Structure 1
Amino acid sequence: MSEAVLDPAAGPPAAAPPQPAAAHGPLGPADQVDWTKVFLGFGGMVIGQFMAVLDVQIVAASLAQIQAGIGASSDEISWVQTIYLLAEVVMIPLTAYLSKMWGTQKFYVAAVVCFIVASIATGLSTSIEMMIVTRAIQGLAGGAMIPAVFATAMTVFPIERRVLANVIVGLIVTLAPTVGPTLGGHLTEALGWRWLFFINVIPGLAVVFLVSRYADFDKGDASYSKGIDWTGLVLMTIALLSMQYVLEEGAGDGWFSDDVILWLSVLSALTGAAFIWRQLTYRQPIVSLAPFQDRNFTLGAMMNFVSGMSLYGGTFVLPLFLAQIRGYSPAQVGTTMLVSGLTMFLAAPTAGRVIRTMDLRVGMVLGFGLVGVGLGQGIHVTKDWGFSEFVVLQILRGLGAMIAMIAASQMSISTMPISLMKDASGLVNLIRNVGGAVGLALITTILTHMQASHFMDLASSVSSASMEAQNMMTGLTSMMTEGGSLDPAGAGRKAFSYMLHRQALTMAFGDAFMFLSAGCFVAIGLALFAAPTKQDQTTPSGGGGR
């Protein structure tokens, strides 16, 4: 019976760990719990998490429209996404500490209210400077809303109900980034880009109502407000902000050939090492690193890193290909991406039941294997690929991502003590987001360098002495002459060069898909080192596996 009610509010690190077996926690004995209210409160938190994750990618298909609307340059507009991720990454590891101090309910409601206000302000932005500030605030609030849901799922629900809760969480984490471009593209064409942010108001108010009324799962501990590790907070903020900036901007600035990127990399490494030392020695660490003592958590974290690369990387590469190679509109990109979202939504209930019956290592091998095979289809991409050619890739990726995400998350906490669950949740979400940032940075680098490499290869193989090249140039020159060009030969050469660049970029996209696919098979190898555990055999009070 003690499994039914687990207190997610652990005391300060210096205090003795809570004893859920002796006290049933804030919800009371399982037979006295009103599960309807519990699911309503938890459901409100899930909606909030969906909003927070969705807002990372909802702008992806509409950056051109936003750029025109606020008069931003092509270099500035990328900060609409970048600043949100920067702020989110900083806030995620702090969530466990703050929710322990204030209580999950109060902390979550405050975060949602802040998110709503920031969303309205972002939608009303008239300059890039204003949007950067409001998006940063929105990202801080969103980062607070994401890990709290997973921690609640693992501490409030008993094992037999935890399956459904975790399927819902897994569905949100995988589905929201995938449907983001779809929803954003159609919303921009129908109502305008400002509604990408105004859309958060109505569901946000619903979240505030549900969470404030039904999500009284734990109480805050005021002792956490005493002795806050401000030094650790500053070190962590500098390390994460520097790292995220390097990952976001490194590819475009030539990585370490740029002085700013080089010195920020050094700064991130030094402050990161100092932060780790501080958290290991300070009496009340602001981010507990204790979960890494658990072997399954460490391996699960590594696999969440890879799943973040695959999830965000796949969501980044496909819309980019459709826009740059096929010239799709935001709505067309969204419609094509809908296949992954539908697959995840339909597969979620079955995935949860299947994973519960098997060794979690098998679930991870199956999930990452499907994603790897699916993304591997893109290695053979051509400039003519569209909706029908990407269907199989998206189905396999969507199904595999759902299975892998649930299994990896469960593996991370399968042998974790309840007292560390909030800390583990924040770390898992942080690692997944960092994995996504690393994946995007590497993909951008691959596209840039491999396009240049393929172009050189194509240009050297198609010489002026080539009969095929001569015939193509003759045809292009003839077309330009018929089109009334003043310099048909010059226009023909430009068109020929454009064709080579387009083909080189298409081949570079194939390399990017190969990189993402290879990462999934690396994750499969890591899964084999985990301790054997089934989801319904997890030990809520800690246990083996260390």
Structure 2
Amino acid sequence: MTTSVSDLPDAGAQPGQQSTRRKFLVFTIMAFGMFMALIDIQIVAASLNDVQAGLSAGPDEVSWVQTAYLIAELIMIPFSAFLAQAISTRWLFSVSAAFFTLFSIGCGMAWNIESMIVLRALQGFAGGAMVPTVFAVGFVLFEGKQRAMVPAILGMTAVLAPTLGPTVGGLVTFYLDWRWIFFINVLPGLLICVGAALLIDVDRPDLSMLRRIDWLHFVAMALALGCFEYVLEEGPRKDWFSDSGIVIAAWVSIVSFGLFIERSLYSNNPIVSLVPFRDRTFSIACLLNLVIGFGLYSSTYLVPVFLGRVRGFDSLEIGTTVFVVGIGQLVSTIIAARASEKVDRRLIISVGFLGLALSLWLTSRVTSNWGFDELLVPQVARGLFLMLCIVPSVNMALSSFQGVELRQASGLFNLMRNLGGAIGIATVNTWLQDDARTQGLRLSESLGAKAVAAQELMGQLALKIAADTPDSSHAFLMAQGILGRLVGREALTLAFGDVFRLMAMMFVVALLLVPLCKVPPAAPGTAEDDK
């Protein structure tokens, strides 16, 4: 774990000797590439109705526009460490940006839902390589106080990108067209591709690794992650294991995962190494990152769904309501970076988890008339405390690794965050559907217990409708429909509150893991810089 970069067979570039200006330019290019890859996970969230209408797709089909991207990205993230060693960080990042741009154009030109899903999967696979690579390079390029800013900046990027996704997508869809949420990637994608090819120089390729790829290992990983995500995505809609397709996918995932573990441990040339998990603090930081990913992606998913289904907001209104989370994240980035240099990281992450639990509990008080004003404080608080979770977890996970192990650890750590997001979105969907049915039954029972009052309300509604509809029976049916929609709306609102409350409790329970972490040693060069 203490092997120096210069001692590694792929590290002939001596990145530490580059000028500070070049280091920051390289880091900026790579961070922007990571931002572009992560924002595209959620950029379609506020525009799914427009995509559905534009491609004549069903509601079950259009959800795969997001899911296909996430599955493919999950597969590439752990694979990127192997590819960076094989073809070098420079060409991995540049080629990834090029293909990401190409497939973005393809998504914008999609002619039906099937082509969109395939192209989104390819886009996610290409973009996935840019996410963990920048973490590893940031820790290699910088030392001392400069290194302390790496987890803060990348943590902010990792959190801000999916948060701003619905806002950017909503604005672009409202003022241009839904296809432009993909076309806007073209210019920055080309700049990143060229900039990465010209400026990144942190290692040397070992092309012989490409001839020794353990394809069985790769297929096992792809099937394990892909089938697992399929179970999570389709399970709520198909009543989980009562559907034969879900059962088959679950078994394939379990068997493939077993094979993946076997190849990771015994393959002569594994594409994913599990060695970093020997470090207890890294393992616990990965579990904490799984919880952070659950909270980050689930809350980012739930608020637009609430605003669309309960409040009836359009894509622009949804986008302008949720963007305030990003303001809180920007403010707390500097606080988190400075605090991580002087305060025990376990204390910082404990404050972050408690604060995030508080923000989720505040959101759980939601009512059916909540909009921008009511969501302002909970959302800003969520943005503030998310950074206090992300920054120390990155430091705890990666600060004790160098060289090849740093790449491997970065891939696994980032995988856990996105895997937490995939699990989170599927879980909260299930909670929401089940709880909405339960709350609807309770409200119906309450109306039945107060049948006289309910009948009076129905009669008053029917009388008002009768003023415009001469048929009294039709007016009564319309009144029943209005009351039914009202009950459904309130049941769904109560379900949203219960889901946010469960998420708050999850963050409180996760605090039990924090004391198990060790205080990581100071990064090389820190003491020197502090003199």
Would you say the 8 A contact 1:312–1:439 is kept in 2? yes
Match of 1:353 among 299, 318, 338: 338
Q: Deviations over 1:447-487 (max 9, x none)?
A: 11000001111111111753331232122212221231631
> Partner of 1:15 in structure 2?
none
Deviation at residue 223 of structure 1 after TM alignment: 3.3
Considering only aligned residues, what root-mean-square deviation do their CA atoms show, in Å? 1.9
Q: Deviations over 1:278-328 (max 9, x none)?
A: 110112211000010000010000000000000000100111101111111
Do residues 110 (structure 1) and 95 (structure 2) align? yes
Deviates more, 1:474-483 or 1:142-151: 474-483
- Which of residues 62, 66, 74 in structure 2 aligns to 1:81? 66
Match of residue 499, structure 1, among 486, 491, 499: 486
- 1:133 and 2:121 equivalent? no
**Paired position in structure 1 for 2:246:** 261
Relative to structure 1, the CA distance from residue 200 to residue 532 in structure 2 (aligned partners, 3 Å threshold; closer, same or farther) is same
Distance 2:443 2:6 in 1: 59
- State whether structure 2 residue 144 is matched by structure 1 residue 146: no
SS for the counterpart of 2:520 is: coil
User: Secondary structure of 1:402's partner?
Assistant: helix
Q: Which runs of 4+ in 1 moved over 6 A?
A: none
2:287 paired residue among 288, 302, 305: 302
Is the 8 Å Cα contact of residues 235 and 246 (structure 2) preserved in structure 1? yes
Give the equivalent residue in structure 2 for 1:67.
52
Check 1:33–1:246 CA distance in 2 against 1; reply closer, same or farther (3 A cut).
Answer: same
Distance 2:73 2:299 in 1: 20
Q: Verify: 1:316 aligned to 2:301, yes or no.
A: yes
Aligned partner of residue 381 in structure 1, secondary structure: coil
Give 1:37's aligned residue: 22
Aligned-pair CA distance for 1:8: 8.8
Point out the more displaced range, 455-464 or 420-429. 455-464
Q: Which moved more, 1:271-280 or 1:48-57?
A: 271-280
Give the one of 336, 352, 374 matched to 2:359: 374
Return the alpha-carbon distance in structure 1 between the equivalents of residues 443 and 470 of structure 2: 27
* Corresponding residue for residue 392 of structure 2: 407
Secondary structure in structure 1 of the residue aligned to 2:160: helix
Corresponding residue for residue 529 of structure 2: none
Secondary structure at 1:253's aligned position in 2?
Answer: coil
Structure 2 letter corresponding to 1:479: K
The answer as to whether partners of 2:75 and 2:222 remain within 8 angstroms in 1 is yes
Q: Does 1:420 align with 2:396?
A: no
| Residue number in structure 2 paired with 1:21 | none
Q: Tell me what 1:513 maps to.
A: 500
User: Aligned-pair distance for 1:439?
Assistant: 0.5
Per the alignment, residue 57 of structure 1 pairs with 42
Superposition map of 1:330-349 within 5 A = 330-349=315-334
Q: Partners of 1:244 and 1:519 in 2: how far apart?
A: 21
Query: TM-score with structure 2 length normalisation?
Result: 0.95
The Cα offsets for residues 210-260 of structure 1, whole Å up to 9 and x where unpaired, read as 212221111112232232111111111111110011111111111111111
5+ long unaligned stretches in structure 1: 13-17, 19-24, 542-546
Task: Give aligned pairs, total.
Answer: 523
Q: Which runs of 5+ in 2 are unaligned?
A: 527-531
Letter in 2 for 1:263: I
Distance 2:220 2:402 in 1: 27
Contact 1:310/1:519 (8 A) holds in 2: no
Higher helix share: 2
SS in 1 for 2:358: helix
Contact 2:5 2:402 in 1 (8 A): no
Match of 2:518 among 509, 531, 535: 531
> Any idea what SS the aligned residue of 2:129 has?
helix
Deviation of the 1:10 alpha carbon:
4.8
Q: 1:309 to 1:465 in 2, by over 3 A?
A: closer
Task: Say whether the 8 Å CA contact 2:81–2:408 is kept in structure 1.
Answer: yes
1:540 Cα deviation from its structure 2 partner: 9.0
Maintained 8 Å contact 2:143/2:524: no
1:446 pairs, out of 431, 436, 441, with 431
Q: For the residues of structure 2 that align with 1:63 and 1:495, how far apart are their CA atoms? A: 26
TM-score by length of 1: 0.92
Provide the secondary structure at the position in 1 that maps to 2:347. helix
Partner of 1:7: 5
Offset at residue 6 of structure 1 (A): 5.9
Tell me, in whole angstroms, the C-alpha distance in 2 between the residues paired with 1:8 and 1:249: 47
Distance 1:215 1:158 in 2: 18
Aligned partners of 1:150 and 1:425 also within 8 Å = yes
